[in-house]
A and B are shown apart, each in its own frame.
Chain A
Amino acid sequence: MNWLRLYAIVYLVFLYLPVLLLPVFSFNDATVIAFPLNGFTTKWFVELAGIDALHGALKNSLFIGLSSATLSTLLGICAARASTRYRFPFKAPIMGTIMLPLVLPEIIVAVSLLVVLMQLGFSLTSWTVIMGHTLICTPFAIAILSSSFQGLDQSLEEAAVDLGETRWGAFSKIILPLVTPGIVASFLIAFTISMDEFIIAFFLTGADPTLPVYIWSQLRFPKRLPSVMALGTLLILASLVLLSIAEYFRRRGIRRTGAKDSGGFL
């Protein structure tokens, strides 16, 4: 076995072993998170069903996730269309600024948003979290949607107009159906990011915590640890499903427009 292969394996183990431990301990019949395992149980999952605060946090997270996914996808459609279809002054700096949150440390974004919102006299609610999440999800939405819009032949829209459609008709009958897979993919990824996001939610959340914030707050209670593990297992599963659906739609979109796959997120 050569060194590169060994390196790759060590790398993968390091990356995914901790994640794999999560489901292992969530089925372990003991409150202490340690080996050796004590026996199989599903009681931690059952326990999850009985925690009201968790349900509140889940609902809150879903609301925030859906809202910020909708907002960032809408903004992403506008930006992606503008950047692929039109030329305008300062396009590169404008697009750069929009994409910046992708690389900006989240803690910086979170703290500055908090300071500004406080100064402006906003009270912290789910809406402030939605604002923050929209900010960080939009670059992802643009990245996905740009590749959808870019794959489109510019003449398609003109052809529709030439055949008697209005500009809006051409967009809604030709362009939208062709980028729908991209829109779905963008929505799902933005939703997943928002569901998982901790730092911004932690800083900007009001009385109702999001799911990650709730999980973090439970870590203080050792007794709750196994049910947090169970919750984590469910979240991993949900994330995997959502990302797979997103990727499926992205690839289908590429197939439909007959473009070449330039690589997505997965």
Chain B
Amino acid sequence: MDCKELVPRAFDLSAYEFGMPQQSGSLTVVPIFGRDWDLPNPKNKDQNQFTGPLSGLKLNRVVGYGNVELSNPATSGVAIVPLHIGYIQDQAQNHALCRSAFIAAGQTLLFEDACCVQQSQGGYLEGREQWFFILPLQLRWEALQIRGQKSYSKLWNGISHLNTQFDLPSRGHLEQIVTRQRAVLTQYQSRLELLENQIGALFLIGDKLAGIEIAPTSAYFQEMWMPLVCFCYGTAAMFFEKKVVRQNQTPLPFEASNLTELREQLAKSRDRFQEKVQDHLQNTPKEKFEIQEEERFLSLHLKTALGNNFAGQFVENDGQLAYASLFAKPEYLAQK
């Protein structure tokens, strides 16, 4: 697919290629392929430049409510903390981060602006068994806005509002969705399939672009796939699917009278499907982003992008895109 002229145009996506779209229910994914920053490099053959969020990034502990300590125990390579990563653990208050960050190999970093996402659960997260997610799409804009604010309860109102949308008790308990609906949400990683060497994806909910996710390496994206497709975009898709009653429609036959014609018409139909997805992408309003630099790590620059309909953070390496997590704001997705 040719999606290089996509919004947000502040980014140069010419280095990337877009695969065949996949669709399940209301969620469509366009896989992205492109530069893998960890592919063998003649200058440093055995070193990983980027460590993955699951294999490389460790939650050490929660020092106090709203204070989350992460570390990168690797001997080389920098960890880009995924934007809006959250951790779930039994018997402890689940937390999520409002921003991305760099953590050097061997470094420990305390996030004092983390938010608690489980209102009335006692106990602190520890380094024992835990799993991570990315905040549901509906909460990401609010979370990004309150980055830097030290208040562990700052996202409770947003979570309560989200819960009421799902007809759940109005509480600051995100686990009402991500844990109790886990069996439904985790189906999204099978309903939509990660492809070999995939480095990112465009996510569409219904006919609207809902997010652009690009990782520095395919291994990094592989570790991000489930948290993204299930908990971030899956939660939004689940809400959409909840509103739309599934109808068992009788499939419309092709106008073919033999196998050869059927094959031809199938191919045409598939071209039309790709064109439809491309139209949806091209109908996305043009954006002008306000860019703010947040952090630096050697040649890496972490920046925040704020637009009318989209926002997020991205990382550039010597001016080339290495990581991006940009998402649609709730108001944009709600527009008809």
A binds B: no
Taking beta carbons and an 8 Å cutoff, which residues of A are in contact with B? none
